Structure 1
Amino acid sequence: MHMNSDSHLRTEDRPEFERVLDDALRAAPDRPDLAAVGQRLNSEQLRTMVLNADALVTTAAAAEYEHFVKMRAELRAPAAASVRTAVLTPGRGGTGSGAGLTAVVAVLAPVLAGTAAAIFLLVGYLLKALSAPPAFADTMVTAGWAFAALAAAAILFAAIGLLITALRNSSNEVHREAEEENGDDELSEEVARARDAWRHALLERGIVPFLRNALADPSADPAAPAPYRPAGRIPSLGYSRPDFTGPDEGTAAHERPSFTSPDFTSPDFGGPDHQPE
């Protein structure tokens, strides 16, 4: 299995890196230093080499890439901040606690007045329906119609308030969006310039030198280009199993030592007439 260093590119920028690489390989015949593409190493083999060494190739344009990422983050920041502001501070078109209190009154007044009107009118007309209606039945009915009128007035007031608030917010939103659009246009141009600078640095200082070294190095194996790294520029990242060999069993240094038991002999005993010499 081929081992490779982790790339510092973000996932969303890898397609752009591969597009720059493909453009470089397509334009190789027009560059004298890459004219050897296809003779010993073809485009697909070279592409595989670069992709396997992407962490080392992209390091050559690391400064331009960091600037591009920073500019892109600044472009995205206002939109994210607007979403957070809208979620955390709904109704930002108002003017503080006073506007909030007015909105509450505008909503509650019609509800309370309408409820009171319904109660007074219902009770008043029920009392008047009795055979002997009490004297305050007419007062209840009058109060009910008074609350009904108040509810209608509150609804009209709330509608006017909501219309004025909507117009004010719309005007503020138009001005804010115009300002953000102008700012975003300028920032978008900065991001585009930063991206072009990164692409150029990636091509001229990363991809092209790698391809040039790969084409000039005769040690590259066209049949298996993936583990290849040009000598002197890209360190070898491949791994091979150590070659362990057993000791030479035929050498004298590794022969099994031999042991012989001591030669014990019993004493030479004889009879009394046989004395040892």
Structure 2
Amino acid sequence: MREARAYGTFGQHPEDRADFERALRLALDHDDIRPALRRDRTGRTATRLEVHARSAAEEIAAAADDEYRAYLAAREAAGDPGARSPGGARGAGSATADGTVRAAVAVLAPLVSAAAAAVLLLIGYGLRLAAPDVDPGASVATAGWTLAVLAVLTGGFSLWALASSALRRTSRANRAERARERWRHALLERGVLPYLRNRLLESEGRGALSRAAAGDGGEGELAGQFRELPNSRR
């Protein structure tokens, strides 16, 4: 069940394969694996292990499926579009568009207010200079100062909102990176290393049987036991 569930997710992103290759290299250089590989001076054992491991990458990755899904969730929370599934692309795109609109409003609101304040102040004080006794000049200048105060307030709020958003993105990116490291560790310890150990044990077991059969001319005790197995089942 875990294998089938992981097949639908692992390997959809280029960095998944890169992380798998990293785990495979670390496993091949592990203390449990390296001595066995060095005994084969031809290097064919290492090559066979790499080929078999790559062909079984999805099966191996299934051992770390929970960590992988947590990693994808952390990437999506950090705003990484590559972590989103096709089914959730529309909703994720809508959320991204909403965030873009809010950021644009936060930036433009103080700019528009400041520009309007500058225009009204110029008009107001221009009218007061041209006709000091005319009331509209003072009213326009007052409106300009009101907009100037509004521009300062909205500018301060926008700076706070942008700084808070940047801090949240940084925190989410850090969580995604930690989730990636946990997945890498689980992939190595619970996926790649056990797979390579089993393959080496199977290979050494077949080699021992072959050597025993060849040493006894096909009539050794071990070979005789394997030959007698079908008769004992009858």
TM-score normalised by L of structure 1? 0.46
Structure 2 stretches of 5 or more lacking a match? 1-5, 81-91, 124-129, 207-234
TM superposition shift of 1:167: 3.2
The match for 1:44 among 42, 47, 66 is 47
Q: Counterparts of 1:155 and 1:42 in 2: how far apart (Å)?
A: 86
Amino acid at match of 1:183: R
**In the alignment, structure 1 residue 71 sits paired with structure 2 residue 85:** no
Pairs within 5 Å for 1:9-88: 9=10, 10-11=12-13, 12-25=15-28, 27-28=29-30, 31-38=31-38, 39=40, 41-76=44-79, 81=95, 83-87=97-101
Task: Tell me the equivalent position of 2:191.
Answer: 206
Tell me how far 1:62 sits from its aligned partner: 0.2
CA contact (8 A) 2:24 2:188 kept: yes
- Between stretches 11-20 and 201-210, larger displacement belongs to 11-20
Q: Distance in 2 between matches of 1:157 and 1:183?
A: 39
**Aligned residue type for 1:8:** T
Instruction: Provide Cα deviations, 1:72-128, integer angstroms capped at 9, x if missing partner.
Output: 211217x97465344379535799xxx9xx97xx69x99xx9xxxxxxxxxxxxxxx
Scaled by the length of structure 2, the TM-score of the pair is 0.54
- Separation in 2, partners of 1:34, 1:7: 32
Q: CA-atom RMSD, angstroms? A: 4.5
Residue by residue over 1:151-184, the C-alpha shift from the partner in whole angstroms, topping out at 9 and shown as x without a partner, is x999978976775554333311221233234433
Aligned to 1:169: 154
Q: 1:174 to 1:220 in 2, by over 3 A?
A: farther
Offset of residue 208 of structure 1: 0.6
Q: Distance in 2 between matches of 1:169 and 1:220?
A: 74
SS in 2 for 1:36: helix
Distance 1:41-1:215 versus aligned 2 partners, 3 A rule: farther
- Give the number of the structure whose alpha-carbon radius of gyration is greater: 1
Structure of greater relative contact order (alpha carbons < 8 Å, 6+ residues apart): 1
1:1-277 superposed matches below 5 A? 8-9=9-10, 10-11=12-13, 12-25=15-28, 27-28=29-30, 31-38=31-38, 39=40, 41-76=44-79, 81=95, 83-87=97-101, 91-92=105-106, 164-218=149-203
Determine if contact 2:7/2:62 at 8 Å carries over to the other structure: no
Q: 1:178 to 1:62 in 2, by over 3 A?
A: same
- Which structure is higher in helix share? 2
Per-residue CA deviations over 1:178-197 (Å, capped at 9, x if unaligned) read: 32344334433332322121
Stretches of structure 1 lacking an aligned partner (at least 5 in a row): 114-144, 222-277
Whole-angstrom distance in 2 between the partners of 1:220 and 1:8: 34
Q: Percent identity?
A: 26
Q: Report the CA distance shift for 1:46/1:157 in structure 2 as closer, same or farther (over 3 A).
A: farther
